[in-house]
Amino acid sequence: MDERALIRSLVPVLGAAATADDCATIQHGGEWLVLSTDMLHETTDFPAGMTDREIGWMAAAVTISDIAAMGARPVALLLATGLDRPERLAGITAGALECCRFYGCDLAGGDTDAHTELTIVSTGLGTAVRPVRRSGARPGDLICVTGYLGGAQAALSGYDRFWERLIAPRPRVAAGLALNEAGATAMMDISDGLALTLHDMLAVNGCGFAVETARLPLPEGVPEGEGREFALYGGGDFELLFTVPPEHFPVTGVDATAIGLVVDEQDVTADGAPLPARGYMHLWKE
């Protein structure tokens, strides 16, 4: 069973709302609070060779990216750390703090525990007047992505100059806020590759997504075919995927590319052919 199937199995218990967005949303004091939690552990989430400080940055960044994907402002982060060796805590905390400060977010607390394998759960709180959800895309909207795709996968595939891209993800907080302001209709981050992300969007929208691969912003210096494969199916980029009415694009100050169109037909296609829901996923042996 993959992670998405497992989470879908909770819909009858929790309701669809609890599993439909990058963050849970709660109305409070005239605006919305958004909350997200991410569990990472050493063998599957942190590429070998990362320092504790880099691990701390990444743990904070993945959660801040979820907040960014709601068009929300990160406010506070908590870090629960299961430590194989207690001396790692200082480096991990320093890295998380650095990331939090970079995004104007308070590293407000946490918990520690002894663990056989380093395990970090970061939980973030953000605020938005109106969060941008995964649902909300409308036929005729442009499909767009920030930055470029496939860099993290390029690093994993041996293109060493993309190493920083892989280990030090830069959540698109400012872009998320600007896109919210500019009227983005749906948004999420692309942590597991474009194809899976489009299928996640498909699952909660009553329309479809038609992408033109020639428009994909690819990692520079990687052969085009390979770069396209990385962009579609590679994980770890943490760019934003969003839909927006054409008259509101481009958005001042946001580095983004239109890669396709929201269509009536409920399917994900690339160059007219169905795009498989394939990419980076947590898998359990069955």
- Binds a second copy (CB under 8 A): choice among 13, 48, 214, 273: 13
By CB under 8 A, tell whether 65 contacts a second copy: no
Nearest to 189 by CA among 237, 228, 120: 237
By CB under 8 A, tell whether 8 contacts a second copy: no
**Nearest distance in Å: CB 3, a second copy:** 6
Which amino acid does the sequence have at 69?
Answer: A
* DSSP alpha helix (H) spans, the chain: 3-8, 11-14, 42-45, 52-68, 88-102, 151-156, 163-167, 173-182, 194-204, 224-233
Question: What angle separates helix 88-102 from helix 52-68, to the nearest 10 degrees?
Answer: 40
**Nearest distance in Å: CB 237, a second copy:** 19
What sign does the dihedral 175-181-185-188 (CA atoms) show? Answer: positive
Nearer to a second copy, 131 or 147 (CB): 131
Task: Please answer whether residues 35 and 78 qualify as being in contact, where contact means their C-beta atoms are separated by less than 8 angstroms.
Answer: no
Is 106 marked within a binding site? no
Sheet bearing 73-83, strands edge to edge: 24-28, 31-41, 119-128, 73-83, 106-114
By CB under 8 A, tell whether 104 contacts a second copy: no
By CB under 8 A, tell whether 266 contacts a second copy: no
By CB under 8 A, tell whether 79 contacts a second copy: yes
Neighbours of 68 (CB within 10 A): 33
Candidate segments 86-94, 148-156, 248-256, 264-272, binder of a second copy by CB under 8 A: 86-94
Q: Is 142 helix (H, G, I), strand (E, B) or coil?
A: strand
Nearer to a second copy, 11 or 265 (CB): 11
By CB under 8 A, tell whether 191 contacts a second copy: no
By CB under 8 A, tell whether 76 contacts a second copy: yes
Residues forming contacts to a second copy in the complex (CB under 8 A) are: 1, 3, 6-7, 9-10, 13-14, 18-19, 21, 23-26, 28-31, 33, 35-41, 44, 75-76, 78-83, 85-86, 89-90, 93-94, 97, 106-117, 119, 121, 123, 125, 127, 282-284
Task: Point out the annotated binding site for Mg(2+).
Answer: 22, 36-38, 66, 111, 189, 192
Task: Point out the annotated binding site for ATP.
Answer: 110-111, 134, 191
